[in-house]
Structure 1
Amino acid sequence: MAFPDITPDLKAAMPQLRGRLLANQSLAELTWFRVGGPAQVLFTPADEDDLAYFLKLLPKELPVYVVGVGSNLIVRDGGMEGVVIRLSPRAFGETRAEGDIVSAGTAALDKRVAETAASADIGGMEFFFGIPGTIGGALRMNAGANGGETKDVLLDAVGIGRDGTRHVFSNADMKFVYRNSGVDPSIIFTSARFRGKITDTETIRARMNEVQNHRETAQPIREKTGGSTFKNPPGNSAWKLIDAAGCRGLRVGGAQVSEMHCNFLINTGNATGHDIETLGETVRERVKANSGIELHWEIKRIGIPV
């Protein structure tokens, strides 16, 4: 489907805008699942000031959503009404280390932050090496892996509000919980600082190798997937519940539960967003029927169903 083109009106209302506005831009190429419809408007800001200017002048009735590398995201086949904002690595992807602190733009890959820390002998951020997303996503969902979470190392974060104002959030301000933060969802994070501990290089590199080996041997990282599909229930593992419910290898259309890791869904080649989401809901139903436990989505699902 195609949405009405509102980009001429937006450009006219924002004469000093420097970023790029695209109408009815496909989002499938921006997600790891490679599924989903278009964004009514896709905006790539030139920098933080450009983002603030855009948000300040954007009509309040237009919905806004931010995407990173789309590693933990299902875009539904009807696409996204309103504006989808994508922060580019060029403008928001810088990382640097000073002392025991690593600073990063929110378009920086989590893996790059781990590398930046390791190169400066800063320990404690090795877990980022195993998370296939960006720092923006890590802040929003308190991303974690291999025994570490974003909340363990975050010093502070910067975000732009829906009215274009700039905010700084301390670790406590983020109100982190398991796989989520309590910050207003309309805030768009632009940068963050993390504090680790000075550690010898060999220890850091050994830990990063452990993280990478775990990913390669236990997860279908070379498939079109979205990472961990469901949150682990308290005291349990989602993949064990899914396996016990007989869902390993289960298919809906072109979507399949991974044979390698049951908490991963895969686009086998021709899946739609509907296939993947339906498969996930089928898994939830079977787990609930088998164990009485309700699984909750970790993957974000956005857009209009068709």
Structure 2
Amino acid sequence: MSDRDLEKRQFGHRARLALSPACELKADDQAHAARTMWNLLHAWWQMMPKEKRTLASADAAIRQARKDIDFLASLPAQAAQAVLKTYLQAWKNCWDGRADAPNFKGRFRSVMSVDIPQGRDLNIVRVHRRWGMASIPKVGRVRFRWTKDLPVGKHSNKENRITGARLVKDALGWHIAFRVQTLEAGPEPHQGPEVGIDVGVTVPIALSDGITKNHGEWLTKQEQSTLLGLEQRAARRKRHRKPGERTSRRLHHTYDQIAGLRAKAKRRAVDWQHQTTTAIARQYGTIVVEALAITNMVKSARGTVELPGKNVAQKSGLNRSVTGEAWGRTVTMLTYK
């Protein structure tokens, strides 16, 4: 095989971390420090005149902030530099019209994350069929679920390696997202048949050759009952809270339990979409999907005061079903596969 047949590929792989309570506390401290660094950088950016908003000035500002604020020292220096790089890229995306202007990050509405720019700092080894170990700066050696072969050890070289990672916390706990670079053979032309795809609510995916792809409920009956009870509990506690009163720890804990069950349902849905789209991409050579204006389809039927809508509750239920199927995500998966 010649070098012309090989092409560079970059992709991400996300794995679940198994952190001890002490390591989880350190990761939380780093994520809060990274969020604070972003907010301080945004405040500095708004305060400074345009001619002084340079990379060198911003770098000097975050270095001074790390000296003045003690708890920012929990964030590694390279991770702090990654915050600066991400912030400047956010402004470039805004100037190019690809995104809105960056803003302050709230404590509860923003994703907790920490960047590890250098892949060589991870020192990844596979210790078990299901587990691997990695080094996280200022956290230590941690375990993660080994669900995909990674270019580590003797399989790692200049073309096949892990270039970095990011720690991300969601409702189910901490995960590590590896940035992987490989040199692989280019895909060969697919000689499979052509097929058209129609998506729906009752039948999620219907192929033009008569094959349908279905799925069940994402949560079991017991999990649905638990979710309903938690939502009712949260509504009661919220109803008894006085105006302006801070949310109690119990209510925050209930919200976390609700978010955990919803995240579990989403993970199962994404897994089903991955398996289904992979099977379709392997079997068919040309795939045509109907063009859907999903944003217009899920608009509310409430109407206005002068012209109130009809069947608002039924339309709301249909909108939830359409949103739950995530047709756009299915098309995105089919596109890159």
Q: TM-score range by the shorter chain?
A: under 0.3
Bigger Cα Rg: 2
More helix by share: 2
Q: Could you state the TM-score of these two structures normalised by the residue count of structure 1?
A: 0.25
More strand by share: 1
